[in-house]
Amino acid sequence: MIMKKEDLQALLNDMSLEEKIMQLVQLPGQTFEETAAVTGLADMEKAKKMKSLAGSVLGLHGADKIKAIQKEYMENHPHHIPLMFMLDVIHGHDTVFPCPLAQGATFDPEVARVGAQVQAKEAAADGVQVTFSPMADLVRDARWGRVVESTGEDPYLNGLMTAAMVKGYQGDSIADKEHVAACVKHFAAYGAAEAGRDYNTCEISEHTLRDQYLQGYRLPISEGARLVMTSFNTLNGIPSSGNKWLMRDVLRDEMGFDGVLISDWAAIAEMVNWGFAQDLKEAAALAMDAGVDIDMCTESYSGSLEALIKEGRVSEALLDKAVMRVLELKNDLGLFEDPYHGASEERYKEITLSKDSREKARDAVRKSLVLLENKEGTLPLSSKKIALIGPYVDDKDTHSAWAITCNKENNITLRQAFEEEFAGSDVEVKYSNGSLMVDNDSDLGFLKFHSDTFREDNDRLMKEALEIADECDTIIMCLGESLMQSGESTSRAKITLPQVQLELFGKVKEKGKKLITLIFTGRPLDLGDIPEVSDALLICWRPGTESGHGIVDVLTGKTSPQGKLPMSFPWTVGQEPLYYNRFNTGRPKPFEGASIFTSRYLDCPNEARYPFGFGLTYSEFEISEVKLDKTSITRGSSASDKAIASVEIKNTGAYAATQTVQLYIRDMAGSVVRPIKELKGFKKVSLGPGENSQVSFEITEEMLKFWTASNRFESEAGKFKVFIGLDSATENEAEFELV
């Protein structure tokens, strides 16, 4: 049964100093599977001792394997305390949902909750107890590869989506065998890495940190996430793992987080590289002082805490508080009652990749696809002779680099889905890869792609593609980043498609056929002339297991696309970082007329090519002017004093479709400069041809609060504009006051 607080305290009091310290040490899974050399530990004897006492392990899955490790560990542990098993279950375990950025494109927290629930069920049966997800980092720079793990550039949307993920992972109780504990990461502001370069520094004012970057973490933490992970970056010169103000004052005191704080991989030791700590011993002292409970995969705590405590530089009382948080997490997971947390090879085989899970993943794909262009109703498909051309025609790497347990053989490719869809019909479909995935000598992080026969192989593929293009009247180009071109340590100074794919596209467009382009990506891209040349353009993201099925459902019109961009797409990489909720500047560029001596580029628009919130359906919609039931709200009055903003939306097209109506607010003047727009609400509306509906939003004083010049989260009296439209560029507005 679940242990009582007094039982945990008694256990803690009876533990040796070494046992307590080792509860704060996490080892990589290789330690339990291979030689110590793999882990970087000094010698086999040290590894053996650490294995016998370490409090947690990451990177392992497999019910039988984990049960065997747990059984041996507990038999040998002086107090028979169970290990915790943690793993990066980011957007799928076996059934892989669209990547988090794609989930952001759904503008549907329920999609995120359901996806996390499926992932938790599969992972828990496979032996996992804690997932390092969700990532709540606000992302504004497409050069940063880890945008694929975020739900986008808006704090409000991020908070809703990540809170839903926490609910899906944890359910009503993390002791339940179908759920796992969630870890919100990376605290804090990792998405602001300078120049979009991973592991880099962040320089952000406290106001911007509080008003923008911290907002996305607040909701998932308030939802009850049991862990938080420190970020790799420095924040204004202080590494997060040693930032006492950030972790104790902000995270624990202000946000009320009382769970386990874990470092990212080796982040405590990296304080030495940063020049913030002289050695691992000082790094350990700084991390303990900041409140970091678990040291992930270094010897900072295991090698230094005992000496630090004996020297009086770290109090044993501080250690005890950290250990108690770890023990409480293990207790709440039910590990003292069932150290395997329900892990079962039989149950895992029964539930994994179930028909129900696949259908939920397929639905998520359908809802995440973003239609950027659809000239003259090119989609849905109506052609009888179709050519699928490009490296993603039959590529099974449709997940992301962060679906680390994915067996790609379970992924449904476009070719598979097309063959299923049109089997026995009068539609003729031909297929060709057309090119290799990446350019020769491309750096893909863990490997460098090189082929001595690159040009020969590529020329052969292109020749084959051009031949089938001649035989068809509609060409579907299936292009995108490689699996390894987005994710951790994949920062890119150029965010275009690989040159070899652009060459293929250039040759195919010369055929003059109807051209539909699908883009598989983990980030916004500079798309060059693809939008102008394509008759239809669909962003597919990293769609996961049911990629082919979900995409074909949309292409054939079984469902209309409804995704909205969670990040702005630029004209060129030189615009990055790029985000809709920017400041106006003192010299804003006018929409018309002379723009010299204004804030502008000489060679590029200021605005995004495709803004946040943009996405087409197969139908057309009209929205009326914004109507307000009142033009003022009284500051400090009861919560019932609110304004209602409404529009009428009508489906004027020929297809049933779902639109996402979006509410933005602008504070016209404040004690600090305010963004030109901020998302404050959205509602999905499904309408048939000719149907209309009223959509209303409540506007309360709470929605108007921000971090003021007084460094308080509060409202200020003044004038506001409310915008209601179909993306962040809408100018459909009305005015009201907070008095």
- Which residues are catalytically annotated? 264
Judge whether 645 and 724 are in contact, CB under 8 Å: yes
Helix axes 547-555, 355-368, angle to 10 degrees: 50
Judge whether 708 and 724 are in contact, CB under 8 Å: no
Judge whether 267 and 296 are in contact, CB under 8 Å: yes
Q: Which of 347, 316, 333 is nearest to 83 (CA)?
A: 333
- Say how far apart CA 664 and CA 681 lie, in whole Å: 7
Question: What is the torsional sign of CA 342, 344, 347, 350?
Answer: positive
- DSSP single-letter state for residue 153: S
Collapse the DSSP code of 361 into the 3-class scheme (helix H, G, I; strand E, B; otherwise coil) and give the result. Answer: helix
End-to-end alpha carbon distance in the chain: 56
Return the bridge partners of 268, or none.
Answer: none
Long-range contacts of 678-683 (CB under 8 A, 24+ apart): 678/156, 678/581, 679/154, 679/156, 679/157, 679/581, 679/612, 679/613, 679/728, 680/156, 682/107
Judge whether 153 and 566 are in contact, CB under 8 Å: yes
Residue 704's identity, in one-letter code, is L
Judge whether 316 and 309 are in contact, CB under 8 Å: yes
- Say how far apart CA 245 and CA 247 lie, in whole Å: 6
- Say how far apart CA 113 and CA 363 lie, in whole Å: 13
Judge whether 538 and 517 are in contact, CB under 8 Å: yes
